[in-house]
Structure 1
Amino acid sequence: MMYNAKLDHHDTKSLSEIERKNGGELPKRTENVALKRIFNREDRHGKKGSLKRLICLLVLSIPDDLKGSLHDCLANFRTMAKLTWEKRIQISLDIAHGVNYLQTSAEDKQRIMQFDVKSANILLDAKWRAKIACFFLSTLNSTNFDARNVQMNPKESCIYSLGVILFEILCGRLHFDEIYYAENEKGLPIMAQRCFDEETIINKMIDPSLKEETDENNCILNEDVNEDSFYIFLKIACRCCAIREADRPALKAILEELENALHIQVSQCFNFIKHKHFVLLKITQIACMLF
């Protein structure tokens, strides 16, 4: 369960190095935070986590206008209908930047190996900007961390999880929706890949608010969705969910593709508005001439 709370804490960043050495008094700060409560956890992570890995309580600073989690939005079709294609790409880009930040370590810092990237752990504010939350199953690793001590490869696992989230955002449904398990046991990613290969993904899978029917059996993207932007997004989502870990893209490539998709979509919107203003101006000029 997620809680929105206020936390009083000492601000060590505000002290200079000299003040720290001289025992300067730490200033206090109050921030909004998101906290997650785990009820009666008795699985292997709960029993062995404190012994086998470093489990930390990480507090995420959040704005006052927290909207909720991406999971909550995906579970509400009315909310998803409000999300334009541009907003969906921006949310995806925010998440990808967050994953990249967690997995990129400076030489003098520890990095977080995030094992639990999913829509329930993505928080959204009133402007639909996304932040990754809940690090209960994460491990803090130093720069001399030996990857052989980890049974799974966290980077490739996170990339696959990111791909699942991209498909959720594209389809407007949670990945465990029973509709995706009607034909196969692996759910959304496999079904999406098959529909992409068969060129039926627009008809069968994407969020209805992103498409319109042309006849009884066919759909096309609606006029607000740029086709190039859409397919760039779709292809990188498919690559993220590749079965073989070696076939999944690096986070840098994911960021580049999502930024490209966003740029193309924003450019289309700008050109549309510019054209609309031009048409209105011409209509106004003609009307003035008539009178």
Structure 2
Amino acid sequence: MAIYSCFLGKNLKHLKIRLHDIKLATHNFSDKYKTESNGHTTWYTTELSHFNKEKPSLVVIKHFLPGEKDDEEELFLTELEMLTSVKHHNIVTLIGFCVEGFDMMLVIEKFSNGFLRDYLGNVKNMRTLTWEKRLKICIDVAQALNYLHSEMEDKKIIIHTTLHNSSLGLDENWGAKIEDFQWAIFLPPNNKDGAMSKITYSNHSYYMDPEYAKTGMLKRESDVYSFGVILFEILCGRHADDQIYLNGSEKGLIHVARRKFHTGKIEDMIDPTLKEEIGRKSYVPNRGATKDSFYTFLEVAHQCVAEVQDQRPTMKVVLKELQKALFLQVSQLYILS
């Protein structure tokens, strides 16, 4: 693997895991440990004792399958480069990697509470996500994106490019972390013009920045748009491509949400477990959203999904508004308690 030699100067030896150890942990990639596969990548969940023989860690092994082209190698190397370049508590932790023969694998932390995708559309699961908890999840993701866009060392900039509900994991404390960096790109420091990039969303077109789709110009605002879609998913409790939205528009959730927002009927779309509390003078602790918190959240979510990139806020502004929404929620709880 010639391209792999580019990483030798990065001193990644401490992250190297032998193929032998991974085969032992997965019983030679047994289906028993397989959790998902999409044709070019297969995921396994298992305990790995490579770094600690006495206390094995529960991990996810992301196995990039060899294909006819070099796409899998490029995706693997991109994600490896990204995860060894970032350091943030709201970004998935890279535990190690393996490159032997045609096998290319990343070993990452296992999310105790699954992914955001597992909750959307499931009434029982969504009830576990109170408004305050949802706000904190959104803030966690916003902090990670703000870091990638403007707070990395040496003024580096990373655009995730394919943010969606399947790339947001929830740890044992319901903290949110971003993963799935295989399509991410670096931008030069202080870059305001973005970069031309091939369309990478494939099965996640409902999160795609419409201006990027037209021009191929990828900017930080493209991530802002995708994040805005996630904000509306969290608000409505459904996937962006839920049939209930496709019945109203082939473009899904955001097209319907914009229409409802401008006609003053956005509350019709809200997750019922949140909607029942909005506007009430009384407040049920740890359950619904207060009116001020809700409308602060709604306004910034709507700004994020503006069709034109220049009309979207930066992640720094988005983060500030989400923190404000949380403050309004908590302070109202304090007043009414």
Q: Which residue of structure 1 lines up, in the alignment, with residue 140 of structure 2? A: 94
- Change in Cα spacing, 1:166 to 1:80, as seen in structure 2 (3 Å) is same
Match of 1:205 among 252, 264, 269: 269
Higher relative contact order (CA 8 A, sep 6+): 1
Work out whether residues 294 and 325 of structure 2, in 8 Å CA contact, stay in contact via their aligned partners in 1.
yes
Does residue 233 of structure 2 align to residue 168 of structure 1? yes
Structure 2, unaligned stretches of length 5 or more?
A: 1-35, 37-42, 85-91, 94-107, 198-215
Once the two structures are TM-superposed, the CA of residue 152 in structure 1 deviates from its matched residue by 2.4
Distance 1:107 1:69, change over 3 A: closer
When the two structures are aligned, how many residues end up with a matched partner? 246
Aligned identity (percent) is 39
Tell me if the contact between 1:7 and 1:30 (Cα under 8 Å) persists in the aligned partners: yes
| Counterpart position of 1:225 | 289
Aligned position for 2:213: none
- What's the TM-score, normalizing by structure 2? 0.63
Letter in 2 for 1:252: K
Please, which of 105, 119, 129 is the counterpart of residue 73 of structure 1?
Answer: 119
The TM-score, its normalising length taken from structure 1, stands at: 0.72
Post-superposition offset of 1:104: 2.4
Taking the aligned partners of 2:141 and 2:273, their CA distance within structure 1 comes to: 22
Inter-CA distance 177–30: structure 2 relative to 1 (3 Å threshold):
same
Post-superposition offset of 1:138:
1.5
Residue in 2 that maps onto 1:118: 164
Given that residues 111 and 140 in structure 1 are in contact (C-alpha distance below 8 angstroms), is that contact kept between their aligned partners in structure 2?
Answer: yes
1:167 aligned partner, one-letter code: F
66-75 or 48-57: bigger deviation:
48-57
Q: Which amino acid aligns with 1:56?
A: E
Quick check: 1:128 aligned with 2:185? no
The CA deviation at 1:108 is 3.0
- Aligned equivalents of 1:7 and 1:197: distance in 2? 55
Code of the residue aligned with 1:259 in structure 2: it is: Q
| Residue of structure 1 equivalent to 2:329 | 265
**Partner of residue 20, structure 1:** none
Which residue of structure 1 aligns with residue 79 of structure 2? Answer: 56
Give the aligned partner of residue 255 of structure 2: 190
What's the RMSD between the two structures over aligned residues? Answer: 3.4
CA contact (8 A) 1:89 1:262 kept: yes
Q: Higher mean Cα deviation, 90-99 or 159-168? A: 90-99
Which amino acid in the other structure matches residue 98 of structure 1? A
Alpha-carbon spacing, 1:124–1:272, altered in 2? closer, same or farther (3 Å): same
**Residues 251 and 83 from structure 1, CA distance in 2 versus in 1: closer, same or farther, beyond 3 angstroms?**
same
**Map of 1:159 onto structure 2:** 224
Q: Higher mean Cα deviation, 192-201 or 258-267? A: 192-201
Bigger radius of gyration among the two: 1
Aligned AA (1:177) = D
Cα deviations by residue, 1:50-78 (Å, 9 ceiling, x for unpaired): 56996233383277771100011114220
More moved, 133-142 vs 73-82: 133-142
CA separation of 1:32 and 1:154: change in aligned 2, threshold 3 A: farther
Out of 180, 194, 197, the residue aligned to residue 245 of structure 2 is 180
Q: 1:271 to 1:155 in 2, by over 3 A?
A: same
Query: Helix, strand or coil: the match of 2:170?
Result: strand
Q: 2:140·2:175 contact (CA, 8 Å) conserved in 1?
A: yes
Shift of 1:196: 1.5
Superposed CA deviations along residues 213-251 of structure 1, whole A, max 9, x for unmatched, are 9xxxxx966834210110110111111111111111111
